[in-house]
Amino acid sequence: MALCIALPAIAAAVGLGGLEAYRLATPDAPLFGDPQPRSLADAITRGRGVEAAYPFIRDGQDPNALISIDDEDYTGGGERSCSPLIAAIASRDSNIVQMLVNFGARLDRPQNRDAWCFAGALGDETMQNVLAAAGADTDPDRCPRRDWDRSQAPLTWFH
């Protein structure tokens, strides 16, 4: 009887111990999360979240430097270059946008200047608010007079 009642505790102890030993040996195993993406562009476009994107910035990648996106969902086909900030807006990940702003992305740089307008074109009001709070120019008259067709990939708005 004692062994039976203690069985859940034994199973939990062995299971937890085993899982952590496995984590130590194989930290990249799918059981503990997705493997670290190969690039900042991958981290952003594959929806891997701010935790996956930040290590690239921490390791010295310039948050204002252009990155190549080769993902049909974003470019509509083919490869395009844009800033990480624009890519993060296209992915609608406000956490990555905030992280980039925190760690050096400049909203006054040419590659980021239309960030607020782009978020507006995507109809993403939350993102616009995030960018406005970060100091983006929120004058709508400044925005390029381009509509965005929702059936198209977001980065096509720039071309």
User: Which residues in this chain contact other proteins in the complex, by CB under 8 A?
Assistant: 1-14, 16-17, 19-20, 23, 30-33, 50-51, 54-55, 58, 95, 98-99, 101-102, 133-134
- Report the C-alpha gap between 104 and 15 in whole angstroms: 43
| Min separation Cβ 59 and other proteins, Å | 12
Q: Residue 6 CA to chain centroid, in angstroms?
A: 45
Q: Residue 159 CA to chain centroid, in angstroms?
A: 22
| Min separation Cβ 81 and other proteins, Å | 25
- Nearer to other proteins by Cβ, of 101 and 153: the residue is 101
| Min separation Cβ 106 and other proteins, Å | 12
Nearest Cα to Cα of residue 87 among 6, 33, 35, 158: 158
- Nearer to other proteins by Cβ, of 28 and 70: the residue is 28
| Min separation Cβ 83 and other proteins, Å | 17
- Nearer to other proteins by Cβ, of 101 and 155: the residue is 101
| Min separation Cβ 94 and other proteins, Å | 8
- Nearer to other proteins by Cβ, of 130 and 153: the residue is 130
- Nearer to other proteins by Cβ, of 9 and 38: the residue is 9
